[in-house]
Chains A and B, each alone.
Chain A
Amino acid sequence: MQPKIKPEVTPLLEEVQRLVQRGEREKAYQSSLRATSLAPDEPLAWYLRAQAAPSTEEQLMCLSRAYSLDSTAADTKKELRTAIHGLLKQEPFLAYVHETEEFYQVRSGRDLLINIPKNRVFERPYLRKARGLAEPAFRWLTLSLLALFLGGVGAVLLAPFTAFQALRLQTVSGSRSDRIRLWIVFSLSVIIWLISIPISWLFLIRFYP
Chain B
Amino acid sequence: MLVRALYLSAIWFALSLFATLILGARLRRRDSGLSLLWLGAVILIGNLVATFTFGRFFEIFGLSFFAFVFGLFWIVRLKDWNVFGQVTWAMTLITTGLFVFYTSLLTAFSPLNPLSFIFALIFFALEAITLLMALAHMHESLDVVCRIRWHRLVEKLEPVPGYMPMVSLQVPAYNEPIEVVQKTLYSLAKLNYPNYEVLVVDNNTPLQETWRPLEEICRELGPQFHCLHLDQWPGYKSGALNFAVTQTDPNAEIIGIIDADYEVDPDFLRELVPAFADPQVAFVQTPQDYSDHHGDIFSESTYRGYKYFFEVSMPSRNERNAIIFAGTMGLIRKSVLEEIGGWDEWCITEDAEASLRILKRGYQSLYINRAFGSGLMPFNFEGLKKQRFRWCFGGIQLLKKHWEALMPWAHWVDPENKLTQAQRYYYLVGGLGWFSDVFNLLFAFFLVLGALFNLLSSPVQIRPLTDTILIIPAVFLLLHILRFLWVLRNRLKVSLGMAVATMYNFFSLGWAVTLACIQGLVQREGVFLRTPKSQTSSKAWRAIQVTQWETAIGLLCMLSGLLAFGSDQNWRTFSLCILLFWQGSLYVAAPLYSLLSLNNQAPLEVPVMDQGRPVLEELAARWVVAICMFLIAAFSLIAFLPAPTNLPDYVRFLPIDLSPQEPELVNSEPEATATPAASLTTPIATVTVESANCRARPRGGAERITILYRGQELEIVGRNDDVINPWWYVKIPDTNDHCWLWGMTATMTGSMEDIPIR
Known A121-B338, A125-B345, A209-B644; judge A84-B247 contact (CB<8 A): yes
Does A43 belong to the interface (CB within 8 Å)? no
- In the complex the two chains form, is A149's CB within 8 Å of B125's CB? yes
Chain A 140-179 near chain B by CB (<8 Å), digits 1 or 0: 0000000001111000000000000000000000000100
- In the complex the two chains form, is A94's CB within 8 Å of B228's CB? yes
Instruction: Report how far A92 CA is from B218 CA in the complex, Å.
Output: 11
Specify which chain A residues have a CB less than 8 angstroms from the CB of B242 in the assembled complex.
118, 120
Q: Which of B206-235 contact A (CB under 8 A)?
A: 215, 226-234
Does B112 belong to the interface (CB within 8 Å)? yes
Instruction: Report how far A116 CA is from B215 CA in the complex, Å.
Output: 21
- In the complex the two chains form, is A180's CB within 8 Å of B412's CB? yes
Instruction: Report how far A149 CA is from B117 CA in the complex, Å.
Output: 10
Which of B623-631, B645-653, B718-726, B735-743 contacts its partner?
B645-653
Specify which chain B residues have a CB less than 8 angstroms from the CB of A184 in the assembled complex.
409, 412-413
- In the complex the two chains form, is B114's CB within 8 Å of A203's CB? yes
Give, as a whole number of angstroms, the nearest-CB distance from B729 to chain A.
24
Does B330 belong to the interface (CB within 8 Å)? no
Does B474 belong to the interface (CB within 8 Å)? no
- In the complex the two chains form, is A121's CB within 8 Å of B121's CB? no
Known A116-B246, A150-B118; judge A96-B231 contact (CB<8 A): yes
Specify which chain A residues have a CB less than 8 angstroms from the CB of B645 in the assembled complex.
209
Q: Name the residue of chain A whose CB is nearest to the CB of B202.
A: A92
- In the complex the two chains form, is B229's CB within 8 Å of A94's CB? yes
Q: Name the residue of chain A whose CB is nearest to the CB of B119.
A: A149
Known A81-B250, A120-B338; judge A181-B117 contact (CB<8 A): no
Instruction: Report how far A82 CA is from B121 CA in the complex, Å.
Output: 65
Specify which chain B residues have a CB less than 8 angstroms from the CB of A202 in the assembled complex.
108-109, 117, 650
- In the complex the two chains form, is B341's CB within 8 Å of A123's CB? yes
Chain A 166-207 near chain B by CB (<8 Å), digits 1 or 0: 000000000001001100100000000000000100110111
Specify which chain B residues have a CB less than 8 angstroms from the CB of A180 in the assembled complex.
409, 412-413
- In the complex the two chains form, is B113's CB within 8 Å of A119's CB? no
Does B346 belong to the interface (CB within 8 Å)? yes
Give, as a whole number of angstroms, the nearest-CB distance from B341 to chain A.
3
Instruction: Report how far A88 CA is from B650 CA in the complex, Å.
Output: 79
Q: Name the residue of chain B whose CB is nearest to the CB of A124.
A: B341
Specify which chain A residues have a CB less than 8 angstroms from the CB of B246 in the assembled complex.
81, 104, 116-119
Chain B 330-362 near chain A by CB (<8 Å), digits 1 or 0: 000000011111101111000000000000000
Instruction: Report how far A202 CA is from B524 CA in the complex, Å.
Output: 38
Specify which chain B residues have a CB less than 8 angstroms from the CB of A89 in the assembled complex.
226
Q: Which of B96-111 contact A (CB under 8 A)?
A: 108-109, 111
Instruction: Report how far A116 CA is from B346 CA in the complex, Å.
Output: 21
**Residue of B125, B346, B649 touching A126 (CB-CB under 8 A):** B346
Specify which chain B residues have a CB less than 8 angstroms from the CB of A117 in the assembled complex.
246
- In the complex the two chains form, is B230's CB within 8 Å of A96's CB? yes
- In the complex the two chains form, is B118's CB within 8 Å of A151's CB? yes
- In the complex the two chains form, is B413's CB within 8 Å of A181's CB? yes
Specify which chain A residues have a CB less than 8 angstroms from the CB of B250 in the assembled complex.
78, 81
Does A85 belong to the interface (CB within 8 Å)? yes
Known A85-B247, A96-B233, A120-B245; judge A206-B112 contact (CB<8 A): yes
Specify which chain B residues have a CB less than 8 angstroms from the CB of A81 in the assembled complex.
246, 250
Does B439 belong to the interface (CB within 8 Å)? no
Specify which chain A residues have a CB less than 8 angstroms from the CB of B649 in the assembled complex.
209
Does B49 belong to the interface (CB within 8 Å)? no
Known A96-B234, A177-B413, A180-B412; judge A121-B108 contact (CB<8 A): no
- In the complex the two chains form, is B227's CB within 8 Å of A92's CB? yes
Q: Name the residue of chain B whose CB is nearest to the CB of A198.
A: B108
Chain B 643-670 near chain A by CB (<8 Å), digits 1 or 0: 0111011100000000000000000000
- In the complex the two chains form, is B346's CB within 8 Å of A125's CB? yes
Does B401 belong to the interface (CB within 8 Å)? yes
- In the complex the two chains form, is B229's CB within 8 Å of A205's CB? no
Specify which chain A residues have a CB less than 8 angstroms from the CB of B344 in the assembled complex.
123, 125-126
- In the complex the two chains form, is B412's CB within 8 Å of A123's CB? no
Known A78-B250, A126-B401, A209-B645; judge A199-B121 contact (CB<8 A): yes
- In the complex the two chains form, is B233's CB within 8 Å of A149's CB? no
- In the complex the two chains form, is B117's CB within 8 Å of A127's CB? no
- In the complex the two chains form, is A88's CB within 8 Å of B413's CB? no
**Residue of A122, A149, A207 touching B122 (CB-CB under 8 A):** A149
Instruction: Report how far A89 CA is from B644 CA in the complex, Å.
Output: 81
Specify which chain B residues have a CB less than 8 angstroms from the CB of A151 in the assembled complex.
114, 117-118, 121
Give, as a whole number of angstroms, the nearest-CB distance from A138 to chain B.
9
Q: Can you report 24 A-B residue pairs in the complex whose CB atoms are below 8 A from each other?
A: A81-B246, A88-B226, A88-B247, A96-B233, A96-B234, A117-B246, A118-B242, A118-B246, A119-B338, A120-B242, A120-B339, A121-B339, A123-B344, A126-B346, A126-B401, A149-B125, A151-B117, A180-B412, A184-B409, A184-B412, A202-B108, A203-B117, A206-B644, A209-B645
Nearest first, the 7 closest Cβ-Cβ pairs linking A and B are: A123-B341, A209-B648, A95-B231, A120-B338, A209-B644, A206-B114, A92-B227
Given contacts A127-B346, A149-B125, A206-B644, 16 further A-B contacts (CB under 8 A): A88-B247, A94-B230, A95-B232, A96-B231, A96-B232, A96-B234, A118-B342, A125-B344, A149-B121, A151-B114, A180-B413, A202-B109, A203-B114, A209-B111, A209-B646, A209-B649
